[in-house]
Structure 1
Amino acid sequence: MSSTPHSILRSTVFGRVIWACAGFVIIALVLLWSISGALVWHMDAQQRASILDSIAYAQEVYYGRGSEALIDEEIVEDGEPLWDDDLIYEVLEHEAQLVVLRDVDYEPVAGFPGLFADVGWQVTYLDHPEIDEPVRAHLALLRGGETITIGEFLPEGRAATLEFAMAMSFALVLIVLPLSLFTGYLLSRSVFNRIEGISQTAAAVAAGQINSRAPESDRYDEFDRLAGGINRMLDRLEALNANIEAVSVGVAHDLRTPLTNIGGRLELISRNRNDPEAVEAHLTAAEDYLAQILRIFDALLRLGEVEAGQREAAFEDVDLSQMTRDMAEAYAPIFEDANKSFQANIDDGAMIAGDRELLEQLLANLLENAVEHTRDAAQVTLSLQVDGKSIVVTVADDGPGISPANRGRIFERFYRADASRSTKGNGLGLSLVKAIADLHGATISLDAEVQGAVFKLVFPRRD
């Protein structure tokens, strides 16, 4: 599937971007209005406190010295107890308080007649032909039914704060949110394309294209690490698939001959049923072929067991020096009978954690390989050297060695260097050697710099 805009808009990545952008705008709006509301509340609280102080002082003067004193001291402006419209401009300019004293009939006695309010707090407007600024006013009842109302124009900062909050709200919703969504779309498309490349690789592999690989860039970001991990997994799967094919071909090839021979022997038994000696000979030969088949399966089972790491739980301390010395003593007569020279050079103190039985199998396979595949009078050397934190075990001979064309495949299952596959063996010995080495954290290699076949094993030394 191609990375079309429609698929990006429906993707989980873009969905998360939408939620993130919406969440950002909502949080920003909440913070904006919380701060603005706190500022407006603070300004309103200061204004209410100022008006209440003026109301309290006016009541103190009124009840202490009467309404005349209140008018003379607190309300008269420019010598006039009743203010006219022109005085309001001065009050507005100087941000002074508005006051009106009314009698029992609610008729203005002093102050600005255009200020009206009910009992308590109220935001109102003046009865004035030109001024339409809102006023916060408080009406207090006095003795005998008279009332005094004191008010202040709402602070300019209050309106500016609310206007700023409103403008920022529109900006967040109409500018920041769409811009965030557009930016998120571009980022989502980049992420989506990276993910889509991996998805297409997975689909191709599922369709049978096992050689497909996920695209990687040189940034080595999290997508490259994911793609690299998938590619390494696919490399491993491809190698395992090739190994399975090789094993299948190898098993079929190696079983065909003994099975054919067993079938031939059964046919001969049928023909020679009246000749007990011939029947006995055919049965013996058939048993040998059957034993050869069982050895193949036994080697495969052991190889699978080792590669699965099932023997690792049985690891114990192994004196590799003493074990190697014992193996050398056991194989010295075999090399002598095969007319080959054998020498062992073994250092002391090589202790490792491992499975002694498997390690003996490893050395036995290498030594038997040297017995079977070297010329007469060949010189074979088994050595063990303790070098710092490593233990190096070498099995070497001075024969013609292994050709460069075959060196890269000698550890594959069922692989044998001779094209006719006529030599003794089933091609599993070196595969088992490598599997045992891997299980013990060792590396095995074939030294290409010297004459002959030189197998080198490097074990980590136990601290």
Structure 2
Amino acid sequence: MLLAKTLKSSTFKLALVAIATFGLIVSAIIAYVYFATLAYVRSRLGDVGDHDSFAATIELALIAFAVLLLVLAGVAAVLVTRRTVGRIEQINATSRAIMLSGLDQRIPLRGSHDEWDSVAENLNQMLDRIETLMGEVKQVSDNVAHDLRTPLTRMRGRLEKAYHAPRNSETDAALIGDTIADLDAVLGMFTSITRISEIETRARKGGFRDLNLAEIASEVVELYDAAAEQDGTRLTLAGEKNVPVTGDRDLLFDAIANLVDNAIKHGRTSGRVIVTCKAGEGGAVIAVADDGPGIPADQRDHVFKRFYRLEQSRYTPGNGLGLSLVAAIARLHGAEIELSDNVPGLEFKLTFPSTKG
């Protein structure tokens, strides 16, 4: 079956065309050698000797050489094409298995480290990436369903209770206010998802300008100062006053605001949150440090996923999208995110590329 596919394949046909072209070139060379040799012999020996016998011997040798060359070329074409078709069939078979059973199949490698192994390895890596993304989509869907169930259930319960109760203006007003608050939370969740998707599609690069990162951080600290004071947290700004960076002002403000809000929520009561800006050799750097419980090292890569929340954060306000937004903004600006222990607490650090040259 594989031989039949080999003989029908376009690769084999292309190989035959190449062999035919090569054969014509070789035939021309052989004809040139044949007639040149006869001419040389006649010029040297004249009519003396058996020219016909010598010519017949040369013809036989050249014909045998041409036939042998064509046979070897044909066998080589079949073998090479068969190997190529065999590897393509492996890829096709794996693709069909994936379409039928799922993403758990992978293209086998032969260990030859040739270009076909490279193609198979790249396709396997692509399948790994697709499987990871599908898992994340499922996780996001599950988390969205879980996070929506609570406010929607509360709203339905209130409305059902109000439906069966006699009308009361104060009670109805409170019901409407609570329902609006829950609806705002749900709408805020969808707004955050849309905003993250917009940033990830790099639709906002047109708003990039030369900015002072320290000035933006100062505005964020001023905005959250009252909330920190109410929580008993000391929110301070340290570092340099002029830290140049290129980016979108609104997005950078949102990223820093999310980091500060996260630090205040998860830091210690009557603790301290420090926002530090400085211009490093590699570019602008901003760090937000708190003195809370921190994040275990094995979970630090997961906190930037949408809706991911640590167990100790389940009962704090939020929807698990803040750090996802920070990660999207960082990627858009080419910034690196680093999480490190603050002993006690955690430090989020964003390092932006240099604005020079």
- Where 2:352 maps in the other structure, the secondary structure is strand
Is the aligned partner of 1:243 residue 2:136? yes
Is the aligned partner of 1:330 residue 2:239? no
> Residue by residue, what CA displacement relative to the aligned partner does 1:146-199 show, whole Å, maximum 9, x if unpaired?
xxxxxxx488668745742453233222x1222222223333333334333333
Asked which structure has the greater CA Rg, the reply is 1
Is the aligned partner of 1:15 residue 2:18? no
2:296 corresponds to which residue?
403
Is the aligned partner of 1:291 residue 2:289? no
Q: Against the structure 1 CA distance between its residues 210 and 322, is the aligned structure 2 distance closer, same or farther, given a 3 Å change threshold?
A: same
8 Å CA contact retained: 1:32, 1:165:
no
Q: 5+ residue gaps in structure 1?
A: 48-93, 96-152
Q: Please report how far the alpha carbon of residue 41 of structure 1 lies from its aligned counterpart in structure 2 after TM superposition.
A: 6.7
Q: Against the structure 1 CA distance between its residues 328 and 346, is the aligned structure 2 distance closer, same or farther, given a 3 Å change threshold?
A: farther
> Residue by residue, what CA displacement relative to the aligned partner does 1:91-136 show, whole Å, maximum 9, x if unpaired?
xxx85xxxxxxxxxxxxxxxxxxxxxxxxxxxxxxxxxxxxxxxxx
Q: Distance in 1 between matches of 2:175 and 2:308?
A: 30
Percent of residue pairs bearing the same amino acid type: 34
Q: Please report how far the alpha carbon of residue 365 of structure 1 lies from its aligned counterpart in structure 2 after TM superposition.
A: 0.7
- Figure out how many residues of one structure are paired with residues of the other and give that number: 356
Q: Which amino acid aligns with 1:32?
A: I
Q: Please report how far the alpha carbon of residue 20 of structure 1 lies from its aligned counterpart in structure 2 after TM superposition.
A: 2.3
Of 66, 87, 93, the residue aligned with 1:172 is 66
Q: Which amino acid aligns with 1:172?
A: A
Q: Distance in 2 between matches of 1:426 and 1:284?
A: 21
Q: Please report how far the alpha carbon of residue 288 of structure 1 lies from its aligned counterpart in structure 2 after TM superposition.
A: 0.7
8 Å CA contact retained: 1:29, 1:169:
no
Q: Please report how far the alpha carbon of residue 238 of structure 1 lies from its aligned counterpart in structure 2 after TM superposition.
A: 1.6
Of 430, 433, 437, the residue aligned with 2:330 is 437
8 Å CA contact retained: 1:346, 1:384:
yes
Q: Please report how far the alpha carbon of residue 212 of structure 1 lies from its aligned counterpart in structure 2 after TM superposition.
A: 2.7
8 Å CA contact retained: 1:314, 1:355:
yes
Q: Against the structure 1 CA distance between its residues 194 and 157, is the aligned structure 2 distance closer, same or farther, given a 3 Å change threshold?
A: same
Q: Please report how far the alpha carbon of residue 361 of structure 1 lies from its aligned counterpart in structure 2 after TM superposition.
A: 0.8
1:427 corresponds to which residue?
320
1:318 corresponds to which residue?
211
1:36 corresponds to which residue?
34
1:342 corresponds to which residue?
235
Q: Identify the range of structure 1 (361-370 vs 388-397) with the bigger mean alpha-carbon deviation.
A: 388-397
8 Å CA contact retained: 1:392, 1:457:
yes
1:200 corresponds to which residue?
93
1:148 corresponds to which residue?
none
Q: Please report how far the alpha carbon of residue 240 of structure 1 lies from its aligned counterpart in structure 2 after TM superposition.
A: 1.6
8 Å CA contact retained: 2:266, 2:293:
no
| Structure (1 or 2) with the greater helix fraction | 2
1:104 corresponds to which residue?
none
Q: Distance in 2 between matches of 1:386 and 1:436?
A: 19
Q: Please report how far the alpha carbon of residue 376 of structure 1 lies from its aligned counterpart in structure 2 after TM superposition.
A: 0.6
Of 37, 61, 82, the residue aligned with 1:189 is 82
Q: Which amino acid aligns with 2:65?
A: A
| Structure (1 or 2) with the greater strand fraction | 1
Q: Against the structure 1 CA distance between its residues 172 and 268, is the aligned structure 2 distance closer, same or farther, given a 3 Å change threshold?
A: same
Q: Please report how far the alpha carbon of residue 419 of structure 1 lies from its aligned counterpart in structure 2 after TM superposition.
A: 7.0
Q: Which amino acid aligns with 1:291?
A: D
Q: Please report how far the alpha carbon of residue 394 of structure 1 lies from its aligned counterpart in structure 2 after TM superposition.
A: 1.3
8 Å CA contact retained: 1:273, 1:279:
no
> Residue by residue, what CA displacement relative to the aligned partner does 1:323-359 show, whole Å, maximum 9, x if unpaired?
2233233323332222012222232553333211111
Of 25, 28, 44, the residue aligned with 1:27 is 25
Q: Identify the range of structure 1 (258-267 vs 424-433) with the bigger mean alpha-carbon deviation.
A: 258-267
Q: Against the structure 1 CA distance between its residues 352 and 154, is the aligned structure 2 distance closer, same or farther, given a 3 Å change threshold?
A: farther
Q: Distance in 2 between matches of 1:161 and 1:392?
A: 86
Q: Identify the range of structure 1 (391-400 vs 417-426) with the bigger mean alpha-carbon deviation.
A: 417-426
Q: Distance in 2 between matches of 1:443 and 1:157?
A: 84
1:54 corresponds to which residue?
none
Is the aligned partner of 1:210 residue 2:92? no
Q: Distance in 1 between matches of 2:83 and 2:17?
A: 18
Q: Distance in 1 between matches of 2:333 and 2:296?
A: 28
- Where 1:207 maps in the other structure, the secondary structure is helix
Q: Please report how far the alpha carbon of residue 35 of structure 1 lies from its aligned counterpart in structure 2 after TM superposition.
A: 4.3
Q: Against the structure 1 CA distance between its residues 237 and 283, is the aligned structure 2 distance closer, same or farther, given a 3 Å change threshold?
A: same
8 Å CA contact retained: 1:384, 1:391:
yes
2:119 corresponds to which residue?
226
Q: Distance in 2 between matches of 1:215 and 1:319?
A: 53
* Equivalences for residues 257-406 of structure 1 within 5 A: 257-406=150-299
Q: Distance in 2 between matches of 1:254 and 1:157?
A: 99
Q: Which amino acid aligns with 2:8?
A: R
Q: Please report how far the alpha carbon of residue 450 of structure 1 lies from its aligned counterpart in structure 2 after TM superposition.
A: 4.4
8 Å CA contact retained: 2:2, 2:86:
no
Q: Against the structure 1 CA distance between its residues 283 and 462, is the aligned structure 2 distance closer, same or farther, given a 3 Å change threshold?
A: same
- Where 2:302 maps in the other structure, the secondary structure is coil
Q: Distance in 2 between matches of 1:308 and 1:449?
A: 33
Q: Identify the range of structure 1 (163-172 vs 371-380) with the bigger mean alpha-carbon deviation.
A: 163-172
Q: Identify the range of structure 1 (375-384 vs 231-240) with the bigger mean alpha-carbon deviation.
A: 231-240
Q: Distance in 2 between matches of 1:321 and 1:228?
A: 46
Q: Against the structure 1 CA distance between its residues 275 and 326, is the aligned structure 2 distance closer, same or farther, given a 3 Å change threshold?
A: closer
TM-score by length of 1: 0.69
Q: Please report how far the alpha carbon of residue 34 of structure 1 lies from its aligned counterpart in structure 2 after TM superposition.
A: 3.7
Root mean square deviation, CA, Å: 2.8
